[in-house]
Amino acid sequence: MFSLDNKSAVVTGGGSGIGKAVAELFSLQGAAVYVIDLDIENALKTVQTIEEKGGKAFAYACDVGKQEEVKAVFDGIGHIDILVNCAGIAHIGQAHTTDVQDFEHVFNVNVKGIYNCLHEVIPVFIRQGSGVILNLASIAALIGLPDRFAYSMSKGAVYAMTLSVARDYVRQNIRCNSISPARVHTPFVDGFISKNYPGQEAEMFDKLSKTQPIGRMGTVEEIAALALYLCSDEAGFITGNDYPIDGGFIKLNN
């Protein structure tokens, strides 16, 4: 079950965090993985890890917010069966404290970045007669989070794009779903804590972990496992859905 043999998977943001875990798991399940990341060194590290385990992977440096760069990468890849849109950035701030530059930066990466990838991959899927898209949204798309105005805006757009694409291309055998994680332990979380709470790292890590009713943060491997299911043939009857993976955050905190 959950084999991706003979499939080609593009993973944006595959150089670190959730994207890296997705790329590595998809490779273990047999896919040829195309790792796209703004940081080519991180992308190459992911590829190296995959190759050391006998997998097949390729690294591409790309700013997903720039359509010409995305087009060049996708044209170079050619055949694609799966697209996982993991590339994204976070931002802390409320509506009146978020300046236009930060707002536009979040929009360009988290919203336009996914649009650019969709714009290039959907014609490929239409020609092939099949394809699978998985977008990384967030619980911020579903509930109000404090001090996450721009980030929530962007993830709400991801959620809406998922539903729109699923509706528009269901007859072309193209599936599109999204995942909405709560707080997941990634290098970003560690960097955020060390930057904003120097000397209080352990205390803040524990505090942030306990905001999930389950009492801990999620792991990137747990997110990747759900991604694998949704991109596999076993999920062939699933499209137009969002899947919270949140340690009970949405239902049990209210």
Q: Which residues are catalytic?
A: 151
Decide: 168 and 125 in contact? Cβ < 8 Å: no
- Residue 183's closest CA among 129, 233, 223? 223
Residue 31 to residue 81: CA distance in whole angstroms: 9
Token pair for residue 145? 């989070």
- Residue 163's closest CA among 181, 173, 178, 141? 178
Residue 77 to residue 145: CA distance in whole angstroms: 38
For the chain, how big is the Rg over CA atoms in Å?
18
Residue 117 to residue 13: CA distance in whole angstroms: 12
Residue 31 to residue 228: CA distance in whole angstroms: 11
Lateral strand order in the sheet of 56-61: 56-61, 32-37, 8-12, 82-85, 131-136, 174-181, 242-245
Residue 14 to residue 23: CA distance in whole angstroms: 6
- Residue 119's closest CA among 83, 153, 77? 83
Decide: 141 and 180 in contact? Cβ < 8 Å: yes
Decide: 230 and 243 in contact? Cβ < 8 Å: yes
